[in-house]
A and B are shown apart, each in its own frame.
Chain A
Amino acid sequence: MTVRRVMGIETEYGISVPGDPTANPMLLSGSVVNAYGSLRGPRAGRASWDYEDEMPLRDARGFEIDRQHADASQLTDEEDPTLANIVLTNGARLYVDHAHPEYSSPEVTSPRAALRWDRAGERVMLESVRRLAAVPGTAGVNLYKNNTDGKGASYGTHENYLMPRATPFSEISRHLIPFFVARQVMCGAGRVGIGQDSSTSGFQVAQRSDFFEVEVGLETTLKRPIINTRDEPHAVADLYRRLHVIIGDANQCDVAGLLKMGTTSLVLAMIEDQALTVDLSVRKPVATLHAVSHDPSLQTLVELRDGRTMTAVQLLWAYYEQADVYLQTRHAGAIDADTAEVMSRWSSVLTRLERDPMECAREIDWVAKLTLLQGYRDRDGLEWSDHRLRAIDIQWSDVRPEKGLFHRLLQRGRIESLVEDEAVEAAMVNPPEDTRAYFRGRCLEKYPAEIAAASWDSVIFDVPGQTALQRVPMLEPLRGTREGVGDLIDRSPDASTLLQELAAAGR
């Protein structure tokens, strides 16, 4: 059992024009995407998206909803030419999702790599902001790595985890719902305002929790479910499912982000191995999710179906303990470094959250944000309804290092960082080497003029002299790695040679 698996993070950014709240967010988001695309040269990274294998209406419970009964916002596979959509040389997808610019990271195999390529996405967004700010006669565009405007709108940060198809979806739901109810105390991003439209003043642990209204479902933009059933594996469907997790917040603290990806991956591993022996099902999960978020003291008691009550931290300890026992009994002495790091961080954070949550101000977003807000409240005697506190909450996530309040704290050494700036910078252009993102990214970097389109599971070549487009399917996420195709790409001067070599190698 390990934290390692194929995973990735999608982040939708908040977008606004200073002084112009009525600016069209679809067009603005398109300008953000195109600004970055044009930075990369005339054609590099401009390949469009191949929608052939997108199935946003397929449900993991085993049925497909009728297109005419779907909400228009669920139809994510119909290409709108006015919406920008490009694939980057690092293997990521940069595009407009509804009314937000979104960066979907390339597939990686560890929580640390997920952090690194997600942080690369923040830098991509920053580059666009800089570029647009330099356009004469315009007010520029600001981007925010957050998940709500505090006025009733929310936009997502989604995690994706590759799982074996054989694991029953009902088992995934059963064990993940209690975990997701509690997980927010480790990885919530903090929010000023309670209720979707902040109708009650106060501070809560997570940005997204108030926007979740049902336990299980297919929707992502309305009636949001704790467990999303979208079944779009972007891989061999008989072998894999891609668990699409929509309940998390966008993290800026590396430790919280590591724990979000790492502990969830471990819980999934235990579900796959049928190693979760304790039933932790909670009563009224949606109401409990909200109640836990609304109590930064973390004293709220969660009621289990079997009658026990415990705090969210204690519920997480129950998952931790099962993981610890499982690792000790089945993998004693042979725990990989990524897993050991997550387990060690996990117990350290839970210990301190239980003692005094404010001890985690260097590691957990909501605690870091609350520490700053409380500083203002103490100094200036501010009520939670004060506009300054709401402004701090928003400006916290501005991607510009000089304006973003998280970035100011990071620069002052008040936040623990796990990923070096140089590594993030390299990840803006280079793909991970151990997934199919390597093939996608390297091809876009080396043969940009000969690629017509790409997607998670295909690259489509438009080779001079050939009448038909040539589609290279990539349905195995762990094929197309540097080890597998690095030499081949290195020695192929053009796409035509590459395709011949691939055919000869029988790939």
Chain B
Amino acid sequence: MPSQEHGRPQRRDETPDEAPAPAAATPEATARKDALDDDIDSVLDEIDGVLEANAEEFVRGFVQKGGQ
């Protein structure tokens, strides 16, 4: 097995001051992720209500011609 050299160059830690740092792993982001996980059951309930009733027929009926 050849050794796997990971070719990633040195990454910089600092970001420009004027650039916002969106969605880093802050406590807020972690809390939000937990809230999303708790929410998944109610999401599935909601999606159940809008999903095409006959999935098999719906999938079979979705036939496209090729495009670009």
Contacts and interface: CB of A to CB of B under 8 A. Distances in A.
A482 to B, nearest CB: 27
Interface in A331-364: 335, 337, 340-341, 343-345, 347-348, 351-352, 359, 361-363
A70 to B, nearest CB: 14
A47 to B, nearest CB: 23
Interface of A: 12, 14-16, 18-21, 25, 97-100, 144, 148-156, 158, 220-222, 246, 278, 301, 304, 308-310, 314, 317-318, 321-322, 324, 335, 337, 340-341, 343-345, 347-348, 351-352, 359, 361-363, 371-372, 375-376, 379, 387-388, 390-392, 394-395, 402-403, 405, 408-409, 412, 414, 416
Contact of A19 (B8, B20, B56, B61): B61
Given A314-B7, A388-B51, A155 B67 contact: yes
A345 B16 CA distance: 12
Given A151-B63, A394-B58, 16 more contacts: A12-B67, A98-B66, A100-B64, A100-B65, A149-B62, A344-B22, A359-B25, A362-B36, A372-B43, A372-B47, A375-B40, A387-B55, A395-B51, A395-B52, A408-B46, A408-B50
A307 to B, nearest CB: 8
Contacts of A310: 6-8
A148 B39 CA distance: 30
A321 B11 contact: yes
Contact of B62 (A14, A308, A361, A403): A14
Interface string B11-31: 110011011111111000000
Nearest to A344: B19
Contacts of A301: 4
A387 to B, nearest CB: 4
B49 to A, nearest CB: 9
Nearest to A374: B40
A281 to B, nearest CB: 12
A394 B65 contact: no
Contact of A414 (B10, B36, B64): B36
A301 B2 CA distance: 13
Tell me the interface secondary structure of chain B in the complex: loop
Contact of A309 (B5, B9, B22, B64): B5
A347 B24 CA distance: 10
Interface centre among A19, A21, A158 (most CB of B within 10 A): A21
Contact of B55 (A322, A388, A403): A388
Contacts of A416: 23
B34 to A, nearest CB: 12
14 contacts: A14-B62, A25-B65, A155-B64, A156-B67, A317-B11, A321-B8, A348-B22, A352-B23, A372-B47, A394-B62, A395-B52, A395-B58, A408-B43, A409-B43
A390 B66 contact: no
Contacts of B44: 372, 375-376, 379
A304 B14 CA distance: 29
A154 B67 contact: yes
Contacts of B22: 344-345, 348
B19 A153 contact: no
Given A99-B65, A405-B50, A390 B59 contact: yes
B52 A15 contact: no
A453 B42 CA distance: 51
